[in-house]
Amino acid sequence: MRTLLSAFAVGLIFGVGLLVSGMANPEKVLGFLDLAGAWDPSLALVMVGAIGTAFIAFRVAAGRRESVFGEPMRLPASNAIDSRLLLGALGFGVGWGMAGFCPGPALVALGAGEAKALAFVASMVAGMGVFELIERTRRQ
């Protein structure tokens, strides 16, 4: 139960942070990605803060075998840069640039009643389904 409450609290803090920072606003995100036009650099500070926080968190987690609540630590097992990673990153970046959403902010925007987020989340879920079908086929 503590793990569930912890996950809820962290998700709530993350969602509020996305709203406050503007990351759930596709126009602001697209302004940040428009390097050749009216570039809005404000989200760069959000990203630097997120990278710094993640860097510290991963360093602390790497020295632990279990979480604060006694759950096993589940850190990435590989740091290889392969074609699957590059293609996934490319797909993510293209989707982010076209829609102005990435998964977390899209869910926050959907919860806030943003109509565009509904189309994005539906497409994201469909893409996840296609990925699962491809993975099952690959494993067989």
pLDDT tens-place string over residues 17-33: 888 888 888 888 888 88
Q: Between helices 2-21 and 103-111, what is the axis angle to 10°?
A: 90
pLDDT tens-place string over residues 38-93: 888 888 888 899 899 999 999 999 889 988 888 888 888 888 999 989 999 998 88
- CA torsion, points 25, 113, 51, 61, in degrees to nearest 10? 180
Q: How far apart are CA 77 and CA 36, in angstroms?
A: 38
Please tell me the pTM assigned to this model.
0.72
Q: Is residue 34 classed as helix, strand or coil in its secondary structure?
A: coil
Q: Which of 1, 13, 15 is nearest to 114 (CA)?
A: 15
Cross-strand pairs, 72: 66
